[in-house]
Structures are given as C-alpha cells and as structure tokens.
Amino acid sequence: MNITTENILLIGSALLFISILAGKTSYRVGLPTLILFLAVGMLAGSEGLGGIYFDDPKAAQFIGIVSLNFILFSGGLDTNWKTIKPIFWQGISLSTLGVLITATSLGVFIWAITDFSIYEGLLLGAIVSSTDAAAVFSILRSKNIALKTNIRPTLELESGSNDPMAYFLTIAFLGLVINQDESLWTIVPLFFKQITLGALLGFLFGKAGKFVINKINIDFEGLYPVLAIAVMFFTFSATDFLGGNGFLAVYLCAVYLGNQDIIHKKTIMRMFDGLAWLMQIALFLTLGLLVYPSHIPPILGIGLLISVFLIFIARPVSVFISLMFFKMKFRRRWYISWVGLRGAVPIVFATYPLLAGIDKADVIFNIVFFISVTSVLVQGTTLSVVAKWLHVALPQKVKRKTPVDLFLSDSAKSALEEINLQQGNPSVGKKIVDLHFPKNAIIAMIKRNGKFITPNGTTVLETGDSLIVLAENKDGLEQVHDCLHAYGSKLDI
C-alpha cells in the first residue's frame, strides 16, 4: 500500500491507536514499549500485513531529529537540579567518557572480526554508543522497581545527556569514512567546538527563553506551550547553524527552564510529556516501517557477536572506567552497566550513513537495528531480576512514597492558611512567578475587593489581597511566610 494524501491520516491514526494499546500491554507483561512500537511498524510495512511501502531514509531522519528534540526537551524539563546535583559529575562522566570508551572499544572489536575498515567500525560503534532512557524507565515503572541511593538519578542524567556525545562521534567518524585521507586528530577541535558552543548556547537560550515566556504576557494559556516549542526549535537550529551541538543545547536549555519559575510551567510540562510520548510512538513506527525484516537474517551471526561484546564487555568496561574516580559500591556499578539499553536513537543515527551513500550503509543500518532490539530484549526484560540479584532494589516497605501514597496515608497532613497583604509589603506589585514560591505550596485562591479570583503566574499581587495558601506541611507554610514577608491565621485541614 502506498501512502497518499487521502489515506495518511487514516493509516496514521490507526497505527497510533494500535501502538497505544500495545504500550498498555507492555506495562502488564514488562516488555519495553520500544519493541511493540517497532513491531507495529514492521507489521504495517511493505513486508508485513499492512503492505505500506516506505523506503525514505531522509524522511525518517527528519522525523527522528524532530522527535529527539521533543524527547530531550521533555526530559530536560523533568530533570530536578537538586536531585542530580550530588551525582552530576558521575552522570557527565558516563555520558561523555563512557560513550567514547563504548564507541572506540566496540569499533576496534568490529574492525578486528569483520571486513570493516577501522573508521567504519568506529562509525558503527559510535552509532550504538548511547543508551535509551524511555525504555529503561517504562520497565522500572511497569515492574514497580525503586532503586537505592542515587542510582536512578544517575541513570536519568546519563540517558538524558549522552545522545549529544553519540551524535558528535557519529558525524565525526562518518566524515572520516567519507574522507579517509584525514587524520583521526582532526575531530578533536570539532569536538571542543560542538560541546562548548552547545553548552554555552543552551544556557543562553534557556535564560532568553525564561525572559520571553515570563514577559510576553500572552492572553491565552494554551499558547505558552507553543512558545516553548518555538524556543526549543530555535535553540536547536541556531546552535546547529553556528556549529554547536544542537541536541546538547536543547537538553541544557530545558534543564535550565525546568528549574526556574516560569509562567504556566505545569501546563508546559504536561504538554511536553504528552508530545514526547507522541514523538516516541511516531519515531518507532517510522523506523519500523523503514526496516525490511528479510534483510536481518544475513547479519544475525555478526550482529549477535557485536551485541554480546557490547552488553558484556564494552558497556561494563566503559562504566567502570568512567566511575573509577567516584565512590560507589561495585554492585551498583554492575547494575548501571546492565542498564545500558539501546533504543531508537541509534537507529536514527544509522540513517546518516544511508543518506551519505557510503559502502556498507545498509549493513550498518541492519546491524544497528538488530543490536537495539537484542539489547532491549535481553537487558530490558531482566532489569528487575538483576536489581534484586545485586541488592540494589528497595524493599516494598521502604520504597519512596508517591504523592498519591502520601495523600492516602493516615500520616499525611496539609495546611491551609489565609495571608493578608498589608500596605508596604514587598510582595505587592509583583507577579506570582517572580516570588520564587516554594514547590510544596500553592496559592489556591485570592480574595480581592469582595471577589474571589483564581491566580496564575502572571497575576500581580495588590495591597489588601487575602491569599488562600495550601501547603503540604508546616515547613511549606514557613517557606511561604519567608517568601511573602507576611503572616496570617492558619486553618489546618
């Protein structure tokens, strides 16, 4: 079946619906959603039941880049700086040095056992050098696994920040494959340029994005997520145009915004969470359509050897070397080594050799696809078993409580307080977003001139306002007092 203007919406909506049902099933059986999304795409493809012909790596790459922007931006918004601060350097070491060691060790292995040149081997190693956060945490949630100490934030930071390094290595080694007369050392200046510009511009665009979002005063709340999307795409494209790493800039921009007080922040974050899921499904479906199952059997042998080396040697070696400078128990290092799932990102990066038209591009793409699927099937389905075996999973009785758990608990308490703003209060004349209000408290309602209004981040406080403040506990109320420089009568509920 050929995709036409007349049937693309019907086909797309049907595949999207089937993928959502498949994703729901994956939570029950503990199978990563990646596998089922890819399976739906392959079944709908030219060699599947759907018979949809799709052989356009350029379109797949475009969809992949757009999807990765949303996925990275959403992940950055959800990154809590206070949580990752204690393990910041561990995560950065894994996402840079770890990715480099994985790519080079695997590349040398491929060069040694195949007829690939050293640069082709390094290219393939670079393509599969990053991990997939979505696959990891969908399984952890489905199995209800909580991990000890800082293992989870370390994995989150690594998975969210290692794609830029893998992207740089892929582009650099692809350039060496095309221009084999160039020296390996020529990529060093390119590395520092990409990383430096990516980090600097990501931070600057994050600050600019905060200023624009808080000062533009849009009348419609629904336009704020659209404004955030514009900031995201401008950050990526402008950084890439200037020679920086666009993916790194997008992630850092989102991390900055996610840890700042911005107007309609919850609306923006909820919107991006939904868009990130949509982009993951679209990405996996597209890559599934692009794969021809009949091309996989010829590379099964070599693909299996590479997968085994990656899972059991390259990944552990890279983790242990990257974390050798930090104090961490060995069983926790082993678990981080095991949580090295490859997902959709390597398959997206594998489209670059296809578009460049290099020799063995088709073979590289098929091997990358096989490695990603094998990694998810072998490692993804055993995360809970390995966590218990290595004693890094928290027992049920000491697992961290979710907000719902705390709400339903008999020991959970909330405090409601009415605070009156008198003349001369420093908070008068300021927007709520500029007050740096504590995250564990909200202004539920404002009584002004005998009327009640529902506030948002753009609401300006006035003299005589009575603020109805809801906090999780007494500590939250004390933070509110410090924030507003005012006190009132407290009502406990």
Burial of 305 per CB tally in 10 Å (0-12, 13-18, 19+): middle
How many residues are given for the chain?
Answer: 493
The answer as to whether 440 is a domain residue is: yes
The answer as to whether 403 is a domain residue is: no
85-96 confidence digits (pLDDT tens): 999 999 999 999
CATH of the domain at 218: 1.20.1530.20
Q: Are residues 202 and 57 located together in one domain of the fold?
A: yes
DSSP string across 465-480: -EEEEEESSHHHHHHH
Which of residues 366, 398, 430 is at a domain's end? Answer: 398
Q: Are residues 41 and 149 located together in one domain of the fold?
A: yes
CATH of the domain at 453: 3.30.70.1450
Q: Are residues 240 and 270 located together in one domain of the fold?
A: yes
Phi, psi of 187, rounded to the nearest 5 degrees: -80, -15
Q: Are residues 357 and 423 located together in one domain of the fold?
A: no
Q: Are residues 429 and 473 located together in one domain of the fold?
A: yes
Mean pLDDT computed over every residue of the chain: 84
Q: Are residues 199 and 144 located together in one domain of the fold?
A: yes
The answer as to whether 2 is a domain residue is: no
| Of 96 and 418, more confident | 96
Q: Are residues 110 and 29 located together in one domain of the fold?
A: yes
Q: Would the pLDDT of 419 be above 80?
A: yes
Q: Would the pLDDT of 407 be above 60?
A: no
Q: Would the pLDDT of 403 be above 50?
A: no
Which of residues 369, 398, 427 is at a domain's end? Answer: 398
pLDDT of the residue at 493 = 42
pLDDT of the residue at 211 = 95
Q: Are residues 229 and 280 located together in one domain of the fold?
A: yes
Q: Are residues 386 and 418 located together in one domain of the fold?
A: no
The answer as to whether 217 is a domain residue is: yes
The answer as to whether 406 is a domain residue is: no
pLDDT of the residue at 48 = 79
pLDDT band at 1 (very low <50, low <70, confident <90, very high): low
Q: Could you tell me what percent of the chain has a pLDDT over 90?
A: 40
The answer as to whether 202 is a domain residue is: yes
276-309 confidence digits (pLDDT tens): 888 888 888 888 888 888 889 999 999 999 999 9
The answer as to whether 17 is a domain residue is: yes
Which of residues 398, 422, 457 is at a domain's end? Answer: 398
189-196, Cβ contacts within 8 angstroms, sequence gap of 24 or more: 193/243, 193/244, 194/164, 194/168, 194/243, 194/244, 194/245, 194/248, 195/164, 195/168, 195/245, 195/248, 196/244
What domain count does the chain have? 2
Domain encompassing residue 486: 411-492
Q: Would the pLDDT of 405 be above 90?
A: no
CA angle 292, 294, 296 (to 5 degrees): 85
pLDDT of the residue at 271 = 92
Q: Would the pLDDT of 30 be above 60?
A: no
Q: Are residues 474 and 381 located together in one domain of the fold?
A: no
| Of 9 and 335, more confident | 335
Q: Which of 1-5, 100-104, 205-209, 428-432 has the lowest mean pLDDT?
A: 1-5
The answer as to whether 3 is a domain residue is: no
Q: Which of 1-5, 103-107, 298-302, 364-368 has the lowest mean pLDDT?
A: 1-5
The residues with which 52 forms a beta bridge, in sequence order, are 45
Q: Are residues 394 and 431 located together in one domain of the fold?
A: no
Q: Are residues 344 and 437 located together in one domain of the fold?
A: no
Write the single-letter amino acid at 297.
P
Query: Token digits for 306?
Result: 């590479």
